[in-house]
Amino acid sequence: MSNAQDYRGYINGQWIENDARLAVENPANGQVIGSVPDCSLQQADDALASAQAALKGWKKLPAFERARHLFRLIETMKPKRDLFARLLVLEQGKTLNEAYGEFDDTLNYLNYSAEAARRIEGQIFPADNAGEQLWIQKVPYGVVVGLCAFNYPLALIGRKVGPALVTGNTIIIKPHEATPITACVFAECVEAAGIPAGVINVITGRGLAVGEHLVKSPITQLVTLTGSIRAGQAVCAAVAENVTAVSLELGGKASFIVLDDADIDRAVDAVVISRYANCGQVCICAELVLVHESVAARFTEKVIEKVRQITLGDPMNNPGMGPSVTAQGLARVDHIVQQTLAAGAQLALGGGRPEGAEFAQGNWYQPTVLTQVTADMEAAREEIFGPVLPIVTIKNLDEAIAITNRRNDGLSAYLWTDNYRTIMRAIDELEVGTVFVNKQIVGYIQGYHSGHKRSGIGGEDGIYGIEGYLQKRTVYLNCN
């Protein structure tokens, strides 16, 4: 591709360019759109040393002074809205409208964190003796390593950088190797905002090399990962020797439960949005429909009709859906579909690469609906992370809860019913971090995004997300 561009990493306020490079492909057509440094382990050590050196001065700043830096960062990013949106489309494959939404969300994440500077709280408890005080302070961990997934290359940076900085930590951002360009351009805004050298570093490279090195370092005091369960398990193993703190926002398989008293039309609209947004590459996407047998036929018919209307095409032209990010992810999606069909499910719609010259290259897969799926089939058991909706018929809420809770992950679930007693029971019994009740996929910044069981430890967003970047220090003060 003639206009492919070389991008740079950012360590200690300096730009780095390596002879060793990683090519970045456009998932819509497979063309190379640019390259980033394939950073060495020495450069990873340089980033760690830089973040450690910057930490002392950064955490001594009043929280509101740290927030001022975040506000300036936001201002440097605003004029680049079109650029960031275009880059998100080119390297991640989301539609242009989705890309603009991600940019806006990123600024909101940063702004929320900056505004929280005056709301970081400790506690004072009564002491047992006269002339004494007992304090619980909230203090930064220190050097944070932020590992970002490929589905939201910019928003995940905002989610981690904002709370890390306002609470007094320094951070090294390691983007996914499939989508690192946005992070490099973000670093340009960091420099333009005048954020002190070492407070934010952006290092690119392969996760199994440079990412693991960053995680294993004794300098690292907190690892925050958004990624797969397998990646979270690898991080836990890597930090074991140093007992490094972790915040893991991992995958899951969200049940979309539709009961016999649900508003079917609204549920259909919600499940289509909640499954096919970002080509199904959202950890809280509706991964598995569990629909009551009395309304299953009507619901399924309407879903197929709605999914049939999803258009594909150049993401810059805002079709209904773009491609998958990686060829490996696409192959996995198709494998799950074929295994499920072989087990007896029926293909109601989609099921492969779309026809046409514009889809011959790139990571394209049709919006797919599978019917006559049973709970033991692969599409009902495995996280698909792609545009495939398996539909399972259930007899009652008990069965839906049992199917959901027998999993060893528990990120989110959806429930559609008009019975408030059913709602209260499901909220009480579903073993997941988020329950959407009569609601499509959403993530409010003031909420909290976390999982239960293997879906993670810790989480993002809101006051609890910010607290995840703080550790407690107890002070026994004798004033006598």
pLDDT, tens digit, for every residue of 67-104? 999 999 999 999 999 999 999 999 999 999 999 999 99
| pLDDT at residue 1 greater than cutoff 50 | no
- Residues of the chain with pLDDT > 90, as a percent, come to 98
Structure confidence by residue, pLDDT tens digits, 449-474? 999 999 999 999 999 999 999 999 99
Where does residue 291 fall: left (phi above 0), alpha (psi -120 to 50 degrees), or beta otherwise? beta
The torsion angles phi and psi of 54, rounded to 5 degrees, stand at -75, -20
pLDDT at position 257, please? 98
Please state which CATH number belongs to domain 255-437.
3.40.309.10
Extents of the domains making up the chain = 5-251+456-478, 255-437
Buried b (16+ CB within 10 A) or exposed e, 241-278: eeebbbbbbbbbbbbbbbbeebebeebbebbbebbbbb
234-244 pLDDT tens trace: 999 999 999 99
CA distance 384 to 338: 12
Flag whether pLDDT at 2 surpasses 90.
no
Looking at the domain that runs over 5-251+456-478, which CATH code has it been given? 3.40.605.10
Nearest Cα neighbor of 96 from 280, 281, 321, 273 is 321
The sign of the torsion formed by the CA atoms of 259, 261, 263, 264 equals positive
Query: Using CA atoms, how far apart are residues 246 and 469, in angstroms rounded to an integer?
Result: 10
- How far apart CA 174 and CA 157 sit, in angstroms, is 9
pLDDT tens, position by position, 297-315:
999 999 999 999 999 999 9
Residue 37: its H or E element: strand 32-37
Q: Return d(Cα 300, Cα 249) in angstroms, integer.
A: 32
Sign of the Cα pseudo-torsion (17, 23, 26, 31, in order): positive
The helix or strand, by DSSP H or E, that contains position 58, with its residue range, turns out to be: helix 41-60
* Residue 343: DSSP 8-state: T
Phi and psi at residue 365, in whole multiples of 5°?
-145, 140
Residue 320 has what pLDDT?
A: 97
Q: Which residues are catalytic?
A: 249, 283
